[in-house]
A = this chain, B = another copy of it.
Amino acid sequence: MYRYSVATVARTEMVEITSRVQEAVSQSGVKDGLATVFVPHTTAAVTINEAADPSVTRDILQGLEKIVPYRAAYYQHREGNSDAHLKASLLGSSVNVPVEGGHLVLGTWQGIFFCEFDGPRQRQFYVLVAGESPR
């Protein structure tokens, strides 16, 4: 298992981590298999989406804010970050990406993003790589 740190700089933010996930795949020596990215936080998530035009992640974060507002009268959790907890469950704590020939098999526009919903904070994510490696 490979452990990585991310320092986020805003309350909500999507940080591309594709190259670090590829780095873990390369270090593992696995040629064909599956890479899993896991986020050990309850107010952050991981997702796959477009990495080309930054307005996409901007619209995703804005859209999530419309769906789950930062402030709402019904929240009872005293830390005031209930929106971040719900966003984390909506996007999820892990993604799977196929590996072929030692490389992540991503679509043309896909990138892997660490999603911060209650930053800025020092965060972590883990990468596991399962599969066959030549001897």
Contacts and interface: CB of A to CB of B under 8 A. Distances in A.
Contacts of A78: 53, 55
A56 B34 contact: no
Interface in A77-135: 77-79, 82-83, 85-86, 88-98, 100, 105-110, 126, 128, 130-131
Contacts of A55: 76-78, 82
B126 A34 contact: no
Contacts of A50: 42, 85
The 9 A-B residue pairs whose C-beta atoms are closest, nearest first, are A40-B107, A59-B82, A55-B77, A42-B50, A55-B76, A63-B86, A47-B89, A94-B96, A48-B93
Nearest to A86: B63
A85 B97 contact: no
Contacts of A29: none
A49 interface: yes
A58 interface: yes
29 contacts: A33-B130, A34-B130, A36-B98, A38-B97, A38-B98, A42-B48, A42-B50, A42-B109, A42-B110, A47-B92, A48-B89, A48-B93, A49-B85, A49-B88, A49-B89, A50-B85, A53-B77, A55-B82, A56-B77, A56-B82, A59-B75, A60-B89, A62-B74, A62-B75, A63-B68, A89-B91, A90-B91, A92-B92, A98-B126
